[in-house]
Chain A
Amino acid sequence: MAQGAVAISRVSISPKTGISAALLVLALILLALVAVLSRADASTGLGAGDWAAIRFTVAQAACSSVLSVLLAVPVARALARRRFIGRGALVTLLGAPFILPVIVAVLGLLTVFGRSGWINGALEALGLPTVSIYGFHGVVLAHVFFNMPLATRLLLQGWQTIPAERFRLSAQLRLTPRAMFRAVELPMLGQVVPGALALVFVICLTSFAVALTLGGGPRATTIELAIYQAFRFDFDLGRAALLSLVQLVLAGGIALLALRFVPMVSVGGGLDRLMPRWDAQGGMQRVVDAGVITLAALFLLVPLAAVVMRGLLGLPVMPVSVYHAAGVSVAVALGSIIVLLALALPMAGWIVSRKGGGMEAIGLLGLSASPLMIGTGWFIVINPYADPFDFALPVTVLVNAMMALPFALRILVPPMRDAVQAYGRLSVMLGVTGWKLWQVLLLPRLRRQIGFAAGLTGALSMGDLGVIALFADPERVTLPLQMVRLMGAYQMDAAAGAALVLLVLSLGVFWICDKGGRGCAET
Chain B
Amino acid sequence: MLKLDQGLIAQGDFQLRADFTLEAGRNYAVIGPSGAGKSTLLAALCGFVPLAAGKLLWEGRDITDAAPGARPMTMLFQDNNLFPHLSVLQNVALGLRPDFRIVAKDKEQIMAALTQVALADYAQVKPGKLSGGQQSRVALARVLVQARPLVLLDEPFAALGPALRNEMLDLLKATIAQTGAAMVMVTHAPEDVRRIADEVIFVEGGQALAPRPAGALMDDPPPELRAYLG
Instruction: Give me the interface of A with B, judged by CB distance under 8 Å.
Output: 1-3, 6-7, 10, 422-423, 425-426, 428-433, 436, 439-441, 444-445, 522-523
Q: How far is the CB of A448 from chain B (nearest CB, A)?
A: 11
A431's partner among B46, B70, B83, B86 (CB-CB below 8 A) is B70
* A432 and B68 within 8 A (CB): no
Can you offer 14 A-B residue contacts whose CB atoms are under 8 A? A1-B39, A10-B48, A10-B67, A428-B68, A429-B46, A429-B74, A430-B95, A433-B67, A436-B99, A440-B100, A522-B84, A522-B126, A523-B84, A523-B126
Q: How far is the CA of A248 from the CA of B119 in the complex (A)?
A: 62
Instruction: State whether A6 touches B49 (Cβ < 8 A).
Output: yes
Q: Are A431 and B48 in contact (CB under 8 A)?
A: no
Give 18 new A-B contacts, CB below 8 A, not counting A422-B80, A522-B85: A1-B39, A2-B11, A6-B49, A10-B67, A10-B68, A429-B75, A430-B95, A432-B94, A433-B67, A433-B69, A436-B100, A440-B83, A440-B100, A444-B83, A444-B86, A523-B84, A523-B126, A523-B128
| Complex contact B99–A3 (CB within 8 A) | no
Q: Would you call B85 and A444 a contact (CB within 8 A)?
A: yes
Cβ–Cβ < 8 Å partners of A425 in chain B: 48, 77, 80
Known: A423-B80, A432-B98, A522-B126. A3 touches B48 (CB 8 A): yes
A445 to B85, Cβ gap below 8 A? yes
- In the complex, how many angstroms separate the beta carbon of B151 from the nearest chain A beta carbon? 11
Least CB distance, A12 to chain B, in whole angstroms? 9
Residues of B contacting A433 with CB < 8 Å? Answer: 67, 69
User: How near does chain A come to B176, taking the closest CB pair, in angstroms?
Assistant: 17
B40 interfacial contact with A, CB 8 Å: yes
Q: Is the CB of A428 within 8 A of B80?
A: no
Distance, CA A2 to CA B75, complexed state (A)? 17
Chain A residues within an 8 Å CB radius of B126: 522-523
Supposing A7-B48, A436-B100 touch, asked if A523 and B85 sit within 8 A by C-beta, the answer is yes
Number of A-B contacts (CB under 8 A): 71
In the complex the two chains form, is A1's CB within 8 Å of B40's CB? yes
Instruction: State the CA gap A330–B70 with chains docked (Å).
Output: 47
Q: Assuming A3-B43, A436-B98, A436-B100, is B83 touching A428 (CB within 8 A)?
A: no
| A residues in contact with B47, CB < 8 Å | 10
Residues of B with C-beta under 8 A to A428: 48, 67-69
A442 to B48, CA, bound (A): 20
Known contacts A3-B48, A523-B128: does B81 contact A426 (CB below 8 Å)? yes
Shortest CB-to-CB span from A417 to chain B, Å, is 15
Interface centre among A423, A439, A440, A444, by most chain B C-beta atoms within 10 angstroms, is A440
Say yes or no: A6-B43 contact (C-beta < 8 A), given A430-B94, A432-B94: yes
Residues of A within 8 A of B128 (CB): 522-523
Minimum distance in angstroms from B17 CB to a CB of chain A: 19
10 cross-chain pairs, A with B, having the tightest CB-CB distances, nearest first: A431-B69, A431-B98, A444-B85, A523-B128, A523-B84, A428-B68, A432-B98, A422-B80, A6-B48, A430-B94
User: Interface centre among A3, A433, A523, by most B CB within 10 Å?
Assistant: A3
Chain B count of residues within 8 A CB distance of the other chain? 29
Give the nearest-CB partner of A432 in chain B: B98
With A6-B49, A10-B68, A429-B46 in contact, is A440–B80 under 8 Å at CB? no
Chain B minimum-CB-distance residue to A9: B48
**Which residue on A lies nearest to B77, using beta carbons?**
A425
**CB of B110, distance to nearest CB on chain A (Å):** 14
Cα distance, A519 to B72, chains bound together (Å): 39
Query: Would B77 and A426 count as touching, CB distance under 8 A?
Result: yes
Q: How far is the CA of A445 from the CA of B84 in the complex (A)?
A: 9
Contact of A429 among B49, B69, B85, B100 (CB under 8 A): B69
* Distance, CA A428 to CA B84, complexed state (A): 16
How distant is the Cα of A257 from the Cα of B95 in the complex, in angstroms? Answer: 51
Please report which residues of chain B, range 93-111, place their CB below 8 angstroms from some CB of chain A when the two chains form the complex.
94-95, 98-100
Which of B43, B48, B85, B98 contacts A430 (CB under 8 A)? B98
With a cutoff of 8 Å between Cβ atoms, the chain A residues found around residue B67 in the complex are 10, 428, 431, 433
* B98 proximity list for chain A (CB < 8 A): 430-432, 436
Closest Cβ neighbor of A521 among chain B residues: B85
Task: List the B side residues contacting A2 at CB < 8 Å.
Answer: 11
Complexed CA–CA distance, A425 and B100 (Å) = 17
- Select from chain B the residue with minimum beta-carbon distance to A445: B85
- Chain B residues with CB under 8 A of A432: 69, 94, 98, 100
Minimum CB–CB distance for B39 against chain A, Å: 5
Cα distance A433–B84 in the bound complex, in angstroms: 18
CB distance from A508 to the nearest CB of B (A): 27
Give A439 to B86 CA distance when docked, in angstroms. 11
User: Is B100 within 8 A of A439, CB to CB?
Assistant: yes
- A520 to chain B minimum Cβ distance, whole angstroms, is 9
Tell me which residues across on chain A come within 8 A of B100, comparing CB atoms. Answer: 432, 436, 439-440
Give B62 Cβ to nearest chain A Cβ, in Å. Answer: 19
Closest to B127 in A: A523
In the bound complex, CA of A205 to CA of B60 (Å): 67
Knowing A425-B77, A428-B69, A429-B74 touch, does A440 contact B94 (C-beta < 8 A)?
yes
- Within 24-58 of B, Cβ neighbours of A (below 8 Å) are at 39-40, 43, 46-49
Distance from A364 Cβ to chain B, minimum over Cβ atoms (Å): 33
* Cβ–Cβ contact B83 & A441, under 8 A: yes
Q: From residue A428, how far is it (CB to closest CB) to chain B in Å?
A: 5
Q: How far is the CA of A433 from the CA of B86 in the complex (A)?
A: 17
Residues in B whose Cβ lies below 8 Å from that of A431: 67-70, 98
- How far is the CB of A150 from the nearest CB of chain B, in Å? 33
Rounded to whole angstroms, the CA-CA distance of A523 and B85 in the bound complex is 7
On chain B, the residues within 8 Å of A426 by CB distance are 77, 80-83
A440 partner residues in chain B, CB cutoff 8 A: 83, 86, 94, 100
Distance, CA A3 to CA B77, complexed state (A): 10
Tell me, in angstroms, the Cα distance from A444 to B95 when the chains sit together. Answer: 18
Residues of chain A within 8 A of B86, CB atoms compared = 440, 444
Contact residues in A for B46 (Cβ distance below 8 Å): 429
Query: Considering the chains assembled together, what is the distance between the CA atoms of A205 and B51 in angstroms?
Result: 54
Distance between Cα atoms of A423 and B86 in the complex (Å) = 12
Within the complex, the shortest CB–CB distance from B76 to chain A, in Å, comes to 9
How far does the alpha carbon of A3 sit from the alpha carbon of B84 in the complex, in Å?
20
The distance in angstroms between the C-alpha atoms of A425 and B39, with both chains bound, is 13
Nearest-neighbour CB distance to chain A for B28, whole angstroms, equals 19
